[in-house]
């Protein structure tokens, strides 16, 4: 139990760092370079992890790395970059919170992880918080950003499930490095073809790229994949609800984005959903249900003919 809680906290580093990515991208990186944005985020992080592990793919991991790199990083990073430029950080990160439900649904057929009732209830409560924060603000939502966000969310869930299914015994740092390099190399020629020369690197952009590359990517995805390996998909999906919490708080504290009673209520619902779906809470709920005496009709008679207390 303690080990699970430790990995819950470690895995939480990923969505918290991703929540900040939207704000950093929107405020400090050029808007018209989504493909270069994805490539510059993926390749340096992948090369760094490869230098640490010094391990190359073997056998089927060549094509698996290519496929996972395209899904988890190439297409995903491009879509996330576009989303960050089209939507405020609070809304972009909140939309990604719907991945909790998608992970549960995909894990059932692909990993035989049947979602538990508290986890489903937690996801519904969390998504209710998401809706509360988004609905009623049509003027502030660019629906092109909503579409790119939902597409990115779907790809990230598929990639996370496939990574968990295929990689129980693979060095995680090496696996992450292969995917990052493959994804970056796949979109780099597309960037050159569509966007022309790469964007100029000012000091502010160097710092911003450094954050999204080494913190939100190299560190974030390493702990995320390790969390997927050690925890069930429902638990990891609920941890992902911390993404909008980080995005909203950063957008409010640093970006002067609007924050009122509705946003506060939505955040509280998201946090409540996360807590409800955690294994520790589920075990305590199950233990509490066993404390209550069963109904009289189900009590078995004691040897002396009287009814037993339980």
- Tell which wins on pLDDT, 185 or 228: 185
Mean pLDDT within 246-274: 73
Query: Which stretches of 12-98 are DSSP H helices?
Result: 13-28, 34-53, 61-69, 76-86, 89-95
Local structure of 204: helix, strand or coil: helix
Alpha-carbon distances of 119 from 48, 98, 130, 152, 282, rounded to whole Å: 36, 13, 16, 23, 8
For 264-275, how does the pLDDT look when each residue is reduced to its tens digit (9 = 90+)? 787 788 777 767
**Given a cut of 70, is residue 183 above it in pLDDT?**
yes
- Tell which wins on pLDDT, 30 or 87: 30
pLDDT of residue 104: 74
How many Å apart are CA 173 and CA 196, to the nearest integer? Answer: 32
For 113-134, how does the pLDDT look when each residue is reduced to its tens digit (9 = 90+)? 776 777 777 777 877 876 776 6
- Tell which wins on pLDDT, 109 or 209: 209
Mean pLDDT within 169-173: 86
Mean pLDDT within 138-145: 71
Cβ neighbors of 12 (< 8 A, separation 6 or more) are 239, 242
Q: Is 197 exposed, middle or buried (0-12, 13-18, 19+ CB in 10 A)?
A: exposed
pLDDT of residue 90: 66
Q: What angle do CA 242, 7, 14 make, to 5 degrees?
A: 40
Q: Is 229 exposed, middle or buried (0-12, 13-18, 19+ CB in 10 A)?
A: middle
Torsion, Cα of 46, 48, 49, 53 (10° steps): 130
Render the burial of 280-294: b for 16+ CB within 10 Å, e for the rest. Answer: eebeeeeeeeeeeee
How many Å apart are CA 159 and CA 201, to the nearest integer? Answer: 31
For 284-297, how does the pLDDT look when each residue is reduced to its tens digit (9 = 90+)? 555 555 555 544 44
* DSSP structure string for 228-247: HHHS-HHHHHHHTTHHHHHH
Structure tokens at 106: 């995909």
CA-nearest of 235, 273, 276 to 131 is 273
Mean pLDDT within 144-171: 85
Mean pLDDT within 13-37: 87
């Amino acid at each position: 139990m303690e080990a699970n809680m430790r990995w819950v906290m470690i895995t939480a580093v990923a969505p918290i760092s991703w929540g900040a990515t939207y704000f950093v991208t929107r405020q400090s990186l050029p808007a018209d370079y989504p493909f270069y944005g994805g490539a510059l985020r993926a390749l340096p992080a992948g090369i760094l992890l490869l230098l640490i592990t010094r391990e190359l793919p073997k056998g089927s991991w060549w094509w698996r790395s290519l496929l996972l790199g395209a899904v988890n990083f190439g297409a995903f990073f491009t879509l996330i970059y576009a989303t960050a430029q089209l939507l405020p950080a609070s809304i972009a990160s909140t939309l990604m919170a719907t991945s909790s439900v998608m992970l549960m649904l995909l894990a059932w057929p692909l990993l035989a992880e049947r979602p538990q009732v508290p986890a489903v209830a937690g996801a519904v409560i969390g998504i209710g918080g998401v809706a509360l924060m988004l609905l009623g603000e049509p003027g502030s939502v660019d629906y092109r950003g909503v579409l790119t966000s939902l597409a990115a969310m779907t790809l990230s869930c598929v990639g996370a499930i496939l990574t968990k299914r295929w990689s129980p015994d693979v060095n995680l740092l090496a696996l992450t490095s292969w995917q990052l390099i493959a994804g970056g190399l796949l979109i780099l020629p597309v960037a050159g073809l569509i966007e022309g020369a790469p964007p100029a690197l000012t000091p502010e952009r160097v710092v911003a790229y450094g954050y999204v590359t080494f913190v939100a990517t190299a560190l974030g995805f390493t702990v995320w994949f390790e969390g997927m390996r050690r925890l069930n998909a429902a638990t990891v999906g609920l941890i992902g609800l911390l993404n909008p919490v980080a995005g909203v708080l950063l957008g409010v504290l640093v970006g002067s984005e609007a924050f009122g009673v509705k946003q506060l209520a939505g955040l509280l619902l998201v946090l409540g959903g996360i807590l409800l779906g955690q294994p520790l809470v589920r075990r305590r709920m199950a233990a509490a249900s066993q404390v209550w005496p069963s109904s009289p009709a189900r009590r078995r008679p004691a040897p002396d003919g009287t009814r037993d207390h339980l």
